[in-house]
Structure 1
């Protein structure tokens, strides 16, 4: 068990606590814990890459922790009425589609190796930044104004583009 993997497991443990904070009307706690989770993602990746601590377990755990965090946050923000439902549905549907495609390729005897695409990395960054902005706005009582619409548009568009890119890659793999 490497230090980056321990940090990633810590991020998994933060997920229910952040959701609890959102649902319990503790927006400042939710914001700070979400930021901590985001920083932990950067730290574990940096340590793994720059100090030769990459492991096969970490290659699976890290994206799962990211998905657990983002899906949970977007659903919680939607349930609390802080973001429109369609955004949470888009975020969840994209990840379900990716996981379903990987599982289907394994079942069909054509396992696909999914590597993060550039659009996916930009999408994840946008999702994290937007969720942090919404949590900060709620926690510190300030309006996002037009930034709310810009964030919604960016997350919606990038999520759709990322889903389409993964679907196209998967279809090419399955057709070859």
Structure 2
């Protein structure tokens, strides 16, 4: 899942809630030096920005001066920073930005388009509302249309695969396992 040396990537990951997207992403990028994980919680944009700034200062060891209340300012800062320092940014429950501030998607489009040629950023967004993620990235009337460079759909294992895994690692498994 690593960016393979690409200057910039934008990879949406879509699956049902509680299917393991977050665990998969954290595990896949655990060895990446400058990996940031942003979760779009049910908070105001200013509260989310405080959380995101805390993640940036903690993981990148960089102070952020002043109060940041707009996600666009954080995104622009990270794309500018990625011109001198490769960054992986994971945004979980990305579709919830629509509830927080619908203009975030337009802001991201502008910032992405102006900076992507020089940026060394691996942007991985994931969401559990499949229909909204499709609208955000695949509807040609939406600002982020055409900006993804890949897509991963995470689906649950069928019972037959689960049984095979269990029998491989624990031949004495019971149906309750």
More strand by share: 2
Alignment TM class, shorter chain as reference: under 0.3
- State the TM-score, normalized to the length of structure 2: 0.25
More helix by share: 1
